[in-house]
Amino acid sequence: MIIKLLIDGGNMIPSPAIAQQLGPKGINMGKVISKVNESTKEFKGMKVPVELDINEKTKEFTVKTSSPPTSELLKKELKLEKGTTDHKKEKVGNASIEDVIKITKIKFSQMLEKDFKTAVKSILGTCASIGIFVESKEPKELIKDVEEGKFEKEINQQSTETPSEKRKELDKFFNEIKLAQEAKLLEEKKLAEEAEAAKAVEKPEETAAAGAAASGTAPATAAKAAVVSAAKAAPAAKSEDKKAKK
């Protein structure tokens, strides 16, 4: 029997869903949780796919873990709480090519790509989707650089350590981008608030004008009708007066 789970690395806890699957089989849940947490402790703070292979006769089980999703690994590597909701407008980090190579090494055995360089380009694609710069560039630019052999040495040697000076430069670049993003967001928020305030002022004026028009239409129409009627009646009255004098 195979049970597939997605748990918090190193922090699997009892839940009704798991109890319903293990309880009827007579499997010791505490033992399962302990073994799963031990197997996934290196991925603490990330979602980890876990597969339990249970022998229903002997009640024995084995735990097979897969590496977390690429996005989770990238966020952990760059100490990010979350990715972006709009990768075109917001960036959340700046990775080095060494960071990307490190994640590629973790995921490579489970990837469809059989060539390491191609796998690196795939990881760069994930960087783009969650709003991460790589080497202070858009990931699609890095993909082109990789294709042109710019990082051939790092990829061939599978380098995973980012030089401290490079890291400082990457952080400096991103901090400038972050400040610019925050300033833009504040400006957009200010403009939105001003637009809402303008609408709030316009509405009472429109309502008042509409009310005045509604209340003034009937009397004005009636008065106009009376004037027209009087004008038409005047010649007739003069004619009758002339007949009477004759």
Q: In whole angstroms, how far apart are CA 41 and each of 10, 54, 77?
A: 4, 21, 16
**β pairing state of 2-8 and 47-54:** antiparallel
pLDDT of amino acid 19: 84
pLDDT of amino acid 3: 87
Determine if residue 162 is left, alpha or beta; phi over 0 gives left, psi from -120 to 50 gives alpha, anything else beta: beta
List the domains of the chain with CATH numbers. 2-65 (3.30.1550.10), 70-190 (1.10.10.250)
DSSP state of 137: B
Count other Cβ atoms within 10 Å, centred on residue 159. Answer: 16
pLDDT means per 10 residues, the chain with 246 residues, are 86 85 83 90 82 87 87 91 85 96 91 94 95 96 95 94 95 94 89 86 67 57 53 54 50
pLDDT of amino acid 194: 86
- Is residue 91 within 8 A of residue 174, CB to CB? The reply is yes
State the Cα angle at 55 between 50 and 60, rounded to 5°.
80
Going by C-alpha positions, the residue among 93, 96, 76, 73 that lies closest to residue 84 is 93
pTM of this prediction? 0.65
pLDDT of amino acid 226: 54
Determine if residue 132 is left, alpha or beta; phi over 0 gives left, psi from -120 to 50 gives alpha, anything else beta: beta
Q: Which helix (H) or strand (E) holds 236?
A: helix 164-245
pLDDT of amino acid 116: 96
Amino acid, single-letter form, for residue 221? T
pLDDT of amino acid 241: 53
pLDDT of amino acid 207: 63
